[in-house]
Structure 1
């Protein structure tokens, strides 16, 4: 067994910075449309609230259908090739949307954007490029980049649309995607290996185990509902801001203030959730806040300052759940099955985005803007009830230990020894990868005993 330095290598720094930037620019392009499409799509021929909702969410359908196949495809023909194909599809979709003069063409462009479903391939390439000891930090960097991209998109999208129109948003997205292709081939180093990573990629052998876990299903429901209500309300929120006297050109400033304050408000709650092991309580509290805020937005008391109070409450809950749900998933996923659990979780997220946009548009078409908020509040109430009695996950963390070339018999002995270490709750040894996947309780972990097993004796 071997243990290496956790300091980043130059190649790892380039891979992490390049892939995080690539991921962030892609998400920026997807999310910039969110606060502006409903306002500006009225100029498109054939536009209706229902079809605007479909245009908002349809990228989620193609993402959900193709993200796992793209990830598996990258195992066969290479990560960079698949990512490049996905980025080209995303750029083509952006161009189709930029040139669209009908709502049908806009829907086609958004669907084509989503067909560039390279999230799993990007994560797999990052895993190829990083050692086990730094991979968790590398994945956290990707997660941070997504959060930053979402916040920037909410501010930049309205400003850019007011200056260059809705086509300008998509043209910028196409340009950023082409820049990402250059970064992929010129900055991100060639991967030294291409193997399956069970902490990142899909493992078909683990699929049944993950799908039959009620606690993981609750998390899948949560991310589905969270992105359902997010996509649905943006059929209506831009019009509420206009009714409040805020011009479309200044919506970015409104979102900047709301998102900034909600981020400050979520930080202490997130610390309490992780440090004091109150993560489930904080999640239930966040869902309750989202439910109340949606109900408030659907009632007459949603004008003036109340509008901003409800939106502040919604985004505080949203940001908290975006941060805590993946943490819960990491704690609950079996050893060696985190990538499989995350694949199902992400598919649920994209399906939620598609159905949220579509049904949000339908509710707006049938019952007006208030119906969108009240319908989402009802879904959130059901979601709150489903999560209410969920037990808190144990304070477990994932560890990946690299192994020396040893025989199968030695692997079996190692598995037994690792399982006997205090604080090690679950173990999977994968001989073909020369890796051991552990779930450990850091509060109880006997680090000295673990170090003796993973560090070769000095001679």
Structure 2
């Protein structure tokens, strides 16, 4: 009987990992499909970012909320609800007739994803103990690293062989498999403390995240201080010369201060809080969350830029792009074996540092190979090294963050850890997307000025290339009169992608430095 229960527990880990795969694959599969979405729906470069950010924004905003609710109402129950919401939103995304409808479906997907991710972590934290917990976290983390790279391959095949719509449709059978498997193998768990829900804290957490990501994405469109492009919603027009972007930054900052003050005040009165602030007294939890946020800034942002560059500049199709990024997936899967071999022999924090160092080398190497005439050969070893680093860092960092967290607080702790990662990922996509398109616009404008193009024509070309996220380059290259301009556009987009890659390497370097605080002996015991 005991062996049967042990087997059921590990079988449950398989389905929990598939649930993680569902949301991670969806997050990365879209990157390869974006060029086809651009051509089919005619979306702009800002909408391209929002196709990613609509998901990530809601995802990050509600992780704390659903992590706390899972502790109260049941972690398995909330995960299953999240899978249903995610699958239904995937149906809507696969049928979306416009960019706006697709972005709306992605928003709902984000709600489902934010129910799934923290509950998978808290279920593992509540189910496994001791050495088994370390192995379970390694499997969970390696799944994230591997699936982040398998997503582009799957998306490339589905987009090339069928349609970009199947990049979302694939979530439906996966959702059914997860529902059946989790019901059969995963036991319900919840916190014994049934405190009231902190509704004000939930609202303040959303008011912190949403305006921040909005400002980072829309800054280059609406202006970082004064209005460059006047925002409109239907018949309503923005009435101020001041851009909405600094106002959004201010709202986020005020909401963050209010969230902390409100939560600390409630905790001192013995009331429930959305975030267990006393968890930050645990050194491994506090420092690990800081490291996780900074690392995610570099890990996920570059995945937005590479597929666009590979398809619109180098000329790959979606399947070829996915096959090239498969080297990243192979690196992540190799990392799981390496991490297993090092378990018990090397402190987890050193595995994290080794992984981050490999990521830095991989991303910097990719940046050095980027150019309008680049070939696939030199990219493969650097992508492999990058994937190896992602697998090592992701698996072990999660274990370090949650190692000393009491099981009763695992939902809140998992939500906090996931929020740190998703905040980093959201900021990474927003910041690196801004670096990509701003650099492209600046370099291309300079090149066209050197050719003596009139200002009006120059601005039109720059807007055409940037707003299409690079899709317009092929059209420019087909006309003999604009072939030279197309060459300038390819060079500019390559410079933008290279700048984004070096920026990612810089964030990863900061992440490596931030792990110094994780090296204290009392935190590695």
Fold agreement, TM-score > 0.5: yes
Deviates more, 1:281-290 or 1:154-163: 281-290
- Kept in 2, the 8 Å contact 1:50–1:365? The answer is no
Query: Cα deviations across residues 60-109 of structure 1 (Å, max 9, x unaligned)?
Result: 22222223322433455445543343223212321222122433322222
Tell me what 1:56 maps to.
52
- Kept in 1, the 8 Å contact 2:354–2:392? The answer is no
Query: Cα deviations across residues 404-434 of structure 1 (Å, max 9, x unaligned)?
Result: xxxxxxxxxxxxxxxxxxxxxxxxxxxxxxx
Q: Unpaired runs of 5+ in structure 2?
A: 199-271, 441-496
Tell me what 2:458 maps to.
none
Counterparts of 1:359 and 1:29, CA distance in 2: 21
**Residue 283 (structure 1) aligned with residue 352 (structure 2):** yes
Tell me what 2:81 maps to.
85
Query: Could you tell me which of 375, 379, 390 is aligned with 1:318?
Result: 390
**Residue 73 (structure 1) aligned with residue 142 (structure 2):** no
Change (3 A) 1:6 1:57: farther
Shift of 1:366: 0.8
Tell me what 2:151 maps to.
153
Tell me what 2:29 maps to.
32
3-state DSSP of counterpart to 1:275: coil
Tell me what 1:384 maps to.
512
Q: Unpaired runs of 5+ in structure 1?
A: 397-440, 442-459
Change (3 A) 1:297 1:51: farther
Tell me what 2:326 maps to.
256
Shift of 1:319: 1.4
Counterparts of 1:274 and 1:88, CA distance in 2: 39
Q: Report the RMSD for the aligned CA atoms in angstroms.
A: 3.8
Shift of 1:59: 2.1
Counterparts of 1:57 and 1:335, CA distance in 2: 32
Matches within 5 A, 1:206-225: 207-212=276-281, 215-225=284-294
Shift of 1:120: 3.1
Shift of 1:167: 0.7
Shift of 1:328: 2.1
Counterparts of 1:50 and 1:307, CA distance in 2: 28
Counterparts of 1:47 and 1:328, CA distance in 2: 41
Counterparts of 1:206 and 1:105, CA distance in 2: 33
Counterparts of 1:159 and 1:57, CA distance in 2: 23
Change (3 A) 1:289 1:138: closer
Deviates more, 1:138-147 or 1:324-333: 138-147
Tell me what 1:112 maps to.
108
Matches within 5 A, 1:32-431: 32-34=29-31, 36-43=32-39, 45=41, 47-79=43-75, 81-116=77-112, 117-118=114-115, 119-123=117-121, 130=127, 136=133, 142-143=140-141, 145-147=143-145, 149-185=147-183, 187-188=184-185, 191=188, 194-196=190-192, 207-212=276-281, 215-242=284-311, 243-244=313-314, 246-261=316-331, 263-264=333-334, 267-268=337-338, 271-272=341-342, 274-277=344-347, 279-299=348-368, 303-304=374-375, 305-331=377-403, 333=405, 340-368=412-440, 369-388=497-516, 390-393=518-521
Shift of 1:15: 4.2
Deviates more, 1:4-13 or 1:306-315: 4-13
Residues matched between the structures, number: 386
Counterparts of 2:516 and 2:85, CA distance in 1: 41
Change (3 A) 1:85 1:378: same
Shift of 1:280: 3.3
Change (3 A) 1:333 1:188: closer
3-state DSSP of counterpart to 2:276: helix
TM normalised by structure 2 equals 0.62
Change (3 A) 1:120 1:380: closer
Counterparts of 1:206 and 1:32, CA distance in 2: 31
Greater helix percent: which structure?
Answer: 2
Counterparts of 2:407 and 2:366, CA distance in 1: 42
Shift of 1:310: 2.6
- Kept in 2, the 8 Å contact 1:57–1:355? The answer is no
Change (3 A) 1:58 1:144: same
- Kept in 2, the 8 Å contact 1:158–1:252? The answer is yes
Shift of 1:367: 0.9
